[in-house]
Amino acid sequence: MAKSRPRKSRRVVRRDEDSIFGRVERIADRDWALDFYHHLLTVSPWTVFVILIATYIAFNLLFGALYLLQPGGIANARPGSFADAFFFSVQTMATIGYGDMHPATLYANLLVTAEVLLGMTGLALATGLVFARFSRPTARVMFSRVAVVTNHDGMPSLMFRAANRRRNEILEAQVTVMLLRDELNAEGIEMRRFHEMAVVRPLTPMFALTWTVIHPIDQTSPLFGESRESLLRAHGHVVVSISGIDQIFSQTIYARHTYEASEIRWSHRFADILTRAPDGHRQIDYRRFHDTIEAEEAAPSATSSRMVSA
């Protein structure tokens, strides 16, 4: 009986700068399929425009070269002129048809037919891609660059800030906080595990300005007994996700942020950003949004304590 050959594998290396797992090397078999459409939805808008422009130019360069394979295929074009063939391809794909140049042979007409069909299909795909990129609502939530561990209401607490950077409101906003760290199971095998972290106020009916999320470190907290050094050894990450309903589009939006163990400042508190103007109205100074102060330097005032969860 003949032995079956082992299937060849294809190595795919993907680097995700925002990944909580750091650098990830994926090794996939030949059946691995790259979801190119999903990739175009996740890359930056400038990358999408560059890809579309490069595809458009390459498409016309290809058909321009094909038109030159038959001399005289394009009427009124200069013999052997690649520029005329290229711009004829541009006019054909866009169905402009200025009337100066036109296909003169059966070969050229067949190429025009194929190019118009492919051009219309490509235009529909590009339109759908651009519409999907720019029509969906997205959250512009700003997270504080660091999280802090300080006393709040007499309890050591993990705290971080979030702010809505748009002028609209996020309705029924809710936050989920998880701790991700390396642990040993009962068999002594190292595993990467998630632990849910309860917060003081997981839901707010209206997220318009700022939101200070507070996780009490009590005996039920996964951070109980932890320190900066122990979190660093366990490669700890605090994963935050906020979801809510966009007031304008009435659709659910999401925002996510990750705090590495090195981005958690112990025995610090956030600088006060909420104050009152002389006429009595509130002011928010976003210039100090990421600033922290050592907890021993000064205790928060009674006013800022009441306003910390705005």
DSSP designation for 296: T
Residues 266 and 121 in one domain: no
Residue 52 lies in a domain: yes
Query: How far apart (Å, rounded) are the C-alpha atoms in residues 252 and 275?
Result: 32
Residue 88 lies in a domain: yes
The more confident residue out of 257 and 303 is: 257
Residues 25 and 100 in one domain: yes
Residue 130 lies in a domain: yes
Task: List helix spans (H) across 197-301.
Answer: 228-233
Residues 145 and 125 in one domain: no
Most confident of 27-31, 181-185, 259-263, 279-283: 259-263
Residue 6 lies in a domain: no
Residues 279 and 202 in one domain: yes
DSSP designation for 282: E
**Per-residue pLDDT tens over the stretch 264-310:** 999 999 988 888 778 878 888 888 889 999 876 434 433 333 334 44
Residue 4 lies in a domain: no
Structure tokens at 27: 């090794």
> Is the pTM above the cut of 0.75?
no
Q: Widest CA span of the chain, in angstroms?
A: 92
User: Per mean pLDDT, which range of 75-89, 91-105, 148-162 is the poorest?
Assistant: 91-105
Residues 177 and 103 in one domain: no
Residue 75 lies in a domain: yes
CB contact at 8 A, 231 and 258: no
Query: Considering its fold, how many domains does the chain have in total?
Result: 2
Q: Which of 94, 116, 135 is the last residue of a domain?
A: 135
Residue 3 lies in a domain: no
Q: Which of 108, 135, 162 is the last residue of a domain?
A: 135
Residue 99's pLDDT band (cuts 50, 70, 90): confident
Residue 170 lies in a domain: yes
Sign of the torsion formed by the C-alpha atoms of 75, 76, 79 and 81? negative
Residues 29 and 108 in one domain: yes
**Per-residue pLDDT tens over the stretch 194-223:** 999 999 999 988 888 888 999 999 999 999
Q: State which residues form the domain around 161.
A: 141-307
Residues 297 and 217 in one domain: yes
Give the up-direction half-sphere exposure of residue 114: CA atoms within 13 A in the CB hemisphere: 13
CATH number at residue 229: 2.60.40.1400
Residues 130 and 145 in one domain: no
Residues 293 and 147 in one domain: yes
Residues 157 and 303 in one domain: yes
* SS3 call for 280: coil
In the chain, the percentage of residues whose pLDDT exceeds 70 is 84
Residues 123 and 153 in one domain: no
Q: Which of 113, 135, 157 is the last residue of a domain?
A: 135
CATH number at residue 40: 1.10.287.70
Residue given tokens 């009490």 in the structure block:
216
Residue 191's pLDDT band (cuts 50, 70, 90): confident
Closest to 309 measured CA to CA, from 169, 153, 186? 153
Query: What single string gives the DSSP state of each residue in 41-96?
Result: HHS-HHHHHHHHHHHHHHHHHHHHHHHHTSTT-EETPPTT-HHHHHHHHHHHHTT-
Query: How far apart (Å, rounded) are the C-alpha atoms in residues 39 and 89?
Result: 29
Residues 231 and 173 in one domain: yes
